[in-house]
Amino acid sequence: MNDTAKETTSVLDSVPLAPAPSDATVAWYVVSTKLRREKFAATELARRGVEVFLPRLLLVRRGESIVRPLFPGYLFVHLRLPGEAARVSWTPGVRKLVTFESEAPSVPAEAVAFLRAQAARDGLIAARPRPLPVGHRVRVTDGPLAGLVGIIENPPDARGRVSVLMDILRTQTRVSLDVEQLEDA
C-alpha cells in the first residue's frame, strides 16, 4: 500500500458518518395543501402509508351542518424526516411540507393530542356556540333591527336562536334572533 492510500484511509476514518434516516425521530409536521384539497391530500397521504390528522370543524348555522377544515390549507402528518419527506412532497393535493429557513419544525405531540381529544373519530370537532348568558347585553348586527341593543332573556336553543328583550318604541319586546346576528354591546 502506498502513502497516498494510507492518508485517504485515515482521513475517511476520521469523518463522522451522518445518521441513517432510520435513526431520525418520528414527529408531527405540517403540510400545506392545494386550495380546498385538504381532504383529497389526506386520503392520498393515507394511501401512501402516512399517518394523517385533518381536524375539521362542524358548524351548525340556521339548522344546516357545515364542515370546514379547522386550519384551511393545512393538515398534520406523522413521519420520520428526512427519509420520508419525498413521500409527502410528491403526493397529489400536497403543495409542500411547511418549512422555515429550509427546516421543517415539528409540531409538539401534545398539541396534536389535544386536538385529537377534541375531535370525534372522523376528525370532526363540534363548534361550541359562544356563551350568551341570561342578562348579557348584545347588539344586533344584521337584519331590520341592526344597531339596536338588547338583553339576552334565554340562552341559545338547539337551532341557534336566542330570545332578546329589546326596548322598541318604549316597550319591552321579546325578539327571537339568530346567534350569528349578535355581538357584545
Q: In 48-180, at which residue ranges do the beta strands (DSSP E only) sit?
A: 51-53, 56-61, 64-69, 74-80, 94-97, 124-126, 137-140, 149-154, 161-168, 171-178
The C-alpha angle 156, 158, 161, rounded to 5 degrees, equals 40
Q: Where in the chain is the domain with CATH 2.30.30.30?
A: 137-184
Q: What is the pTM of this model?
A: 0.62
Query: pLDDT band at residue 18, thresholds of 50, 70 and 90?
Result: very low
DSSP code, position 156: -
C-alpha grid cell, residue 83 = 427519509
137-184: CATH, from 3.90.1150.10, 2.40.30.10, 3.40.50.150, 2.30.30.30: 2.30.30.30
23-40 per-position pLDDT tens digit = 467 999 999 999 999 999
**Cα–Cα distance list, 153 to 77, 114, 177 (Å):** 46, 34, 11
Q: How far apart are CA 75 and CA 94, in angstroms?
A: 10
pLDDT at 164: 93
CATH 2.40.30.10 assigned to 22-126: no
Residue 140 and residue 149: Cα distance in Å, rounded?
A: 6
Give the pLDDT band of residue 109 (cuts 50, 70, 90): very high
Residues of the chain with CATH 3.30.70.940: 22-126
Q: How confident is the model at residue 70 (pLDDT cuts 50, 70, 90)?
A: very high
What is the pLDDT at residue 172?
A: 87
